[in-house]
Amino acid sequence: MRVLGIDPGFEKVGIAIVEQDLVKNKLLYSTCFKTLKSSAFNERLFLIGKEINRVIGKYKPDVLSIETLFFNTNQKTALRVSEARGVIVYESKKHNLKIYEYTPLQIKNAITGYGRADKNQVNNMVRQLIDISNPNKKEDDEMDAIATALTCLASYKAEKVI
Catalytically annotated residues: 7, 67, 141
CA–CA gap between residue 109 and residue 115 (Å, rounded)? 4
Rounded distance, CA 149 to CA 32, Å?
Answer: 15
Q: Give one word for 60, left, alpha or beta, with left for phi > 0 and alpha for psi -120 to 50.
A: left
How many Cβ atoms are within 10 Å of 140's Cβ, its own excluded? 14
Question: What does the alpha-carbon distance between residue 20 and residue 65 come to, in Å, rounded to a whole number?
Answer: 14
Nearest to 7 by CA among 98, 90, 103, 76: 103
